[in-house]
Structure 1
């Protein structure tokens, strides 16, 4: 039995090869009825369209035969008045995308969506014209909506926890496991009153992973005083100081390094009597211990997944979206010394695991 080709499909359907090719890649130049007829015939014949072919041939013509495998798009939803740490994080993710794409023989084209960038309808037209079908979506504030794109043409991975519109594969930092690991490390260093403060919007955006791990782990570590987390709409000094004076945590975890000054105002001496860990190293200047989010690694892993899906011709919204998580590292700093005597005492007792098989 002969292998079906564009030529045989075109002959069977009495259409040109161009029309058949356009129909298989979802070109708006082909009407819906013809597109459906071509795709039905291709499925019946067992024809498998390679989504990279058009992009490869186009680039080969431009590059005069240099080695090349395809093009993917890095798409960023840009909001006005972005914080500096957000810009640095996005750039690190893009660095990871570009590095891994280059290693795999792919070129990356960058696009910005937002008030000062492209509209989704315009982006859709550009991606189609350039034959780009692999997309890496950078983290966005809130819960992004990308449903306007013609998703039957694309495969994509989102570099954050959750996207519902449409539901896509995601790659993100493992915030839950990292909080568990951090609390166990603090316990080993002798801290017994860990306290967590965070803005409600951030807690919700992470689907309560920081808070959930914090609350669960406190219950399984012996001799731990359960300090309730401070969750507020916007972190302010008066609210923090009220919480700090009432619950007296000996180590504070949060996203805002300015809390160290507030702790000092309440009588804490860092690191002699209290410790502090920032939950995002991009918010610091290296002046405190912090968790380092794997931004570049997220971009690289998302790129690998997108390219793998392209090579397997897996286009469209996935039936079962997956979540891939990467480890967050603790960066040592002057605000987190070990309390050797207390740590030695605690080490004599067996620590129950904070998480485990159900």
Structure 2
């Protein structure tokens, strides 16, 4: 049974009723919808939501051509973020938009909280427009979008973990990325690398940055182990106390202001000390460190999302999986070869 019309004929229902039931339209009675879905499953019929979205959007816009729409959902408005985080999010979106164009899809961003956009309102908009694919941008806090009707959506989260609901995700390979940084610092001849982390950031990523740092720090014959500085709030006084007590010759941190604090303590960068930024996009000025490749994360996330749509893989996956992207080292003016 390959068509909606054949399915409708077998059930003694109209083509419109069967079509609406397959798309979970609320106008169809629950009993009828369940009957149609059961019959479709038994017959091996699979509804193509991309075709449905195509027709829906063409009717809505009156256009003669259409590529399909995917939603990029931002869980926080940009004014809630630091400028560095805004740059990171823009790169994720740019990568997703680029891949969407290559695969024949238009990407449209929806910002929760913007102009009163609630999860319930978003759900209504997406359904009315036949949008079935959602790429979720990273959130600083644990997001909760369980109230979306996930039975009709496919979703990819572009950060490490989302649990409400647990979706497939694509993100930086934080553990491997720290290994890349530590090995590069070892190659450059540094002896006492010190890590500075925000505690909530460390916890949110299940301690992957810290775990990789500790392993590389203790396993290297070249390194002298230094206890990392992990704080609820990284403040200047606490950092300077730690820097004076531990005496690192290179500091790894996401926070570019740490470089200024080092220089206030008499460190000459890169002559006597080094600084490695764990996300070079956080710094307005050129620095050495890691490019977490948000553009590539956006591209890969969109690619995975389209794959889900083509497979009719809707709903919450069981279990959810994570695709990771390794960072690359960026040579910059805040490190040098200490052996030369």
TM-score (norm 2): 0.95
Secondary structure of 2:317 counterpart: coil
- C-alpha distance in structure 2 between counterparts of 1:164 and 1:12, whole Å: 41
Partner of 2:110: 111
3-state DSSP of counterpart to 2:72: strand
Alpha-carbon separation, structure 2, partners of 1:261 and 1:299: 32
Name the CA distance, whole Å, in 2 between partners of 1:279 and 1:63. 48
State how far apart, in whole Å, the 2-side matches of 1:294 and 1:283 are. Answer: 12
* Partner deviation per Cα, 1:146-187 (whole Å, 9 max, x = no partner): 100000000010000000111111000111101011101111
User: 5+ residue gaps in structure 2?
Assistant: none
What is the aligned partner in structure 2 of residue 338 from structure 1?
Answer: 337
Quote the residue 2:273 is aligned against: 274
The question of 1:163 aligning with 2:156 is answered no
Unaligned runs of 5+ in 1: 342-358
Distance 2:63 2:254 in 1: 50
Count of aligned residue pairs for this structure pair: 338
Going from structure 1 to structure 2, the CA distance change for 1:140 and 1:116 (only over 3 Å counts) comes to: farther
Q: 1:195 to 1:314 in 2, by over 3 A?
A: same
Change (3 A) 1:117 1:281: farther
SS for the counterpart of 1:136 is strand
CA distance in 2, matches of 1:44, 1:259: 62
Match of 1:57 in 2: 55
Please give the alpha-carbon distance, in whole angstroms, between the structure 2 residues aligned to 1:39 and 1:65: 31
**How far apart in 2 are the matches of 1:116 and 1:83?**
21
**Matches of 2:85 and 2:63 in 1, distance apart?**
39
Q: Distance in 1 between matches of 2:213 and 2:116?
A: 39
Compute the displacement of 1:264 (Å).
Answer: 2.2
Q: 2:73 aligns with which of 67, 75, 78?
A: 75
SS in 2 for 1:140: coil
Q: What is the match of residue 323 of structure 2?
A: 324
1:292 pairs with 2:291: yes
Tell me if structure 1 keeps the 8 A contact 2:155–2:168.
yes
- 4+ long deviations beyond 3 Å: 58-66
Tell me what 2:232 maps to. 233
Q: Is the 8 A contact 2:181 2:289 kept in 1?
A: no
Distance 2:263 2:45 in 1: 69
Aligned partner of 1:261 in structure 2 is 260
The answer (yes or no) to whether the contact 1:23–1:38 under 8 Å persists in 2 is yes
1:340, CA displacement in angstroms?
Answer: 2.5
Deviations 1:8-54 (A, max 9, x none): 22122222211111111111222222111110011111111111111
Q: Distance in 2 between matches of 1:222 and 1:16?
A: 75
Contact 1:52 1:69 in 2 (8 A): no
Matches within 5 A, 1:1-358: 3-60=1-58, 62=61, 64-66=63-65, 68-79=66-77, 81-114=80-113, 116-341=115-340
The whole-number CA distance in structure 2 between the counterparts of 1:304 and 1:258 is: 36
Q: d(CA) in 2 for partners of 1:265 and 1:126? A: 53
CA contact (8 A) 2:57 2:130 kept: no
User: Partner of 1:184: helix, strand, or coil?
Assistant: helix
Contact 2:155-2:167 at 8 Å conserved across structures? yes
Question: SS in structure 2 opposite 1:337?
Answer: coil
Q: CA deviation at 1:69?
A: 4.3
Tell me, in whole angstroms, the C-alpha distance in 1 between the residues paired with 2:121 and 2:63: 29
Contact 1:200 1:231 in 2 (8 A): yes
Are residues 108 and 287 of structure 1, via their aligned partners in 2, closer, same or farther at CA, if it must alter by over 3 Å?
A: closer
| TM-score for the superposition, normalised by structure 1 | 0.90
